[in-house]
Structure 1
Amino acid sequence: MIGIQRKIWTLTAIVMFIMASIWMMLTYYNQKTQDQYNEILQRYLIMNEVTTASRQTVNALNIYLLTPTEGNLSSLRRGEQQLREAQSSVGVLRNEENDFALTSYMNLIDSLIETTDRSIMFKSERETEESSKAFAEATRVSRYISEMTLQLIDIELNTYERFYRSIIEQAEELKKFGIWILLAITFGLLLFTYWFSLSITRPVQQLTKAAQELAKGKFERQIVVNSSDEISFLATTFERMRVNINNLILEMKEKARLKSELQQSQLLLQESQLRSLQSQINPHFLFNILDTLSKKAFLEGAEETSDLLVSVAGLLRYNLKRLDRAVTLYDEVRVMRQYMEIQSARFTERLNLVTEIDESCLAVQMPGLTLQPIVENAVIHAIEPAENGGTITVTIADAGDHVAVEIADDGPGMHEEKIRGILEERDMQPEGHSTGIGFGNVVRRLRLFYGVSDVIEIHSGQGRGVRVLLKLPKTRRSDTYDKAIDRG
């Protein structure tokens, strides 16, 4: 054992001495050509940085146009800054052969930056079509920059062709010299190490083959390695890992299947719940309207009655067509006002509507027929029973990440049990509503539409009226409502 160890150390020392001598000789001859080669390579890398920076700028512009946030805009500005820095680096590459091409190259970079800024400007001014055209132009300029980069690299190759050939010739000579040295050393080592390495290479090959099988996804085949050393322990550990991974994959597949079935069941349940909310117009409401119109036509001239008919027609069209898709808060406010015009004709001075509306908040999306049932609930329970009528106040304001809609009345109030039933979606009866949609149905559709439960609050007390607060998120977290509509 000692003799073998001494031979191994002697052979190692000889090999290290030879390799060190060869390395010192080759280093001296390679250093000069390596420095020149690095300089030329750096020129190619600078050009490649321009192409990379232009593509990153276009990608950042595309992300900003799709999602115009401050973070995406900052990322786009960083991309433009990198492109300008790369442009400055390209300026030092100018020579007689590439002067004209490099000038065009610099102009293309300036054009890309200008087109990007123009697209951002149009996007900020909400000129979507012009912004898209500017983005398309920026994409074309980026492609031109990539093509021009290849042309400049080709010019560089032609300029330094002789130097390249010299480097290649030297590399070939060094390769031949290295091959001869390597063959001489390898021949001596092979004779000595063959018997020593054979007991190691065979188990390693078996383990490598097993690893390749695992890389192909064949986790069912058992790993068997014939060895009695450390390789055997490694193979045993590898086998345990294979078994664990195989069991985990089977478990994940089963969980994925169960999750898919659960999601499909939940979607079908929500779809059926949504369809159950799309009820018919209450005929009793139509009779009340017709009776009101008849009295107005008898007591007054035709002009006010005509306006009332317009409100009725708009309300009926909205009720019949808007429940199956999302609408804006502006549409809901408009139909709520039409409804209040109809009710004002019934109650005259007994009904007073006060509105405080921030017009900038009316673009937020919401499910159709949300405000009218809530206001109608106030009319039915607060205005209609009172001999002197009452006041309904509607306030819409911006509350940061959501729009706050408050509907309040000065009626007798609502019992705590009633409020609990509405918020828990147990009180689903329409109670004579014109749309056949009760308060609880409004709560359910709001939660289904936005995908959150904390979307409505109801505050009341005996003799203190009812105050309903809707918190409408500006960004929806769930598309279950739309999927249910599309599947329907």
Structure 2
Amino acid sequence: MRKLKRRFHNMSLRYKLSASFLGVCILLVLVNGIVYFNLRQTIGQVDGVYSSNLELNKLMASLDGVQQSLYQYLETKSSAALEQYYVYEQSYQDLYSGFNTEITGSQGALLEKNIYNISNTYLGKTDGAVQAKRGRNVSKYKEGYAESQKLYQYLRSSIDTLNADNFQQNSKKYTVLRGSLNSLMVSALVLLTAAMTVAILWMTFITRSITKPLEELAKSANEIACGSIDVGFPIVETGDEVAIVAKACNKMMDSIRDFIARIMENYQREAEHIENELSMKNDLNEAQLRYLQSQINPHFLFNTLNAGAQLAMMEGAEKTCIFIENMADFFRYNVRKTGQETTLAEELELVDSYIYILNVRFAGDIHFEKRVNEKLVQVTMPGMILQPIVENAVNHGIRGMEGDGRILLSVYAQEGDVCVEVSDNGAGIADETIEMLMTSRAEAQQAQSDSPEGGIGLSNVISRLKRSFGREKVFTIEKGTDGVGTTVKIFIPATQTEQKEESSADDQSTGM
């Protein structure tokens, strides 16, 4: 019983209500079934009280039918009368065949035995009279009819006596059964009332066990709604969804309190920051001056380089003039295009300036070749992308190698993209290095930032391309045949070219 109670306690609300409803229905059906069975049994007994009188009345009717049909046949000798005689005779015989034939001390049973024996004699006399009629023996069938008439009168008297005795006994039984039926009706009413009382009490208990925790939760919720956040939801161990909701609400209130506490801490920190802002204003003014100075210095550098180029030209040093102009273009592009969008054509021009400067430094040891589809060079891309790749090919590929170092830069269309390919015949690249670069691992970034020339690392180039184009397919690194040389490919969406052309067309249509 305790296990059953605990199991019911841990049920959900739906199963509690369903189990309660089902239990009440089973109780009412069981009580109604018991009442219906007892009432039906008692009514059946009442119906059977006078069945013996009905059977005796049928027996009397069959006896009268035998005697009357015998008389008609003896008078008319019609086949219809004879057929009626045999029908009544069979019916009469079937009815009295169930009577008592044993010796007994009961007056009713003894009377049944006499009726049974006399009925056999009576039917023998009637059959004899019918046979005599068929044989046209007038004296014999008249004699047989007279004897059957006497037996007929005796049988009627005996059946009436037995019927009266049975009626008297059945009346006593009927009185007793009526009393039993009244008692059964009262018992059924009491039983149904008790069942309904139990059902009402049980449903009241179930309803109270469900609504009471909900009322407590609603009371706590109203207090919280009025601003009392320190109020907790009462935990009622009902084992159903109410307990789950209460626990969840308590967790939510704990989270809200923690959140409010963090907000207060942040507010205090913000107040402290506001107080510190006043003391930082002087430092900010100084920083602004330094920023203006940093903007002036590049212009001073470019003006100085341009002055040096003009001076070299005036003195007839043409190569020195070209070198200084390339240096100026290179630094100007670095300052102007870093972090901004540019075109592939401008990136190619920067690479040309970079290669020219390197060949001046290293006495023309770098053999650089371009194969460019000029129809694709207006595609837009982030600035400072190609120069770090070429620089990487020089520093980590062909520098220090025996023989001629060669770099090939190709631009061509491939599967809806503009592919920029930079390949060299240098020392190659290790698989681990490729993996570090493509996964943007910190080791690769550190290795490139520690290079002698400094500059922008390939990991930085890859991440900027992914952010700019919004996809992963932007960059590949492949080893050359037999581990010699390295090929780097950049994939620029061809839509960048279409957008550039549409923008140019719109600018021309608006007169810009």
Q: Flag whether TM exceeds 0.5 (same fold).
A: no
* Class of the TM-score when normalised by the shorter of the 2 chains: 0.3 to 0.5
Q: TM-score by structure 1 length?
A: 0.36
The structure having more radius of gyration, on CA atoms, is 2
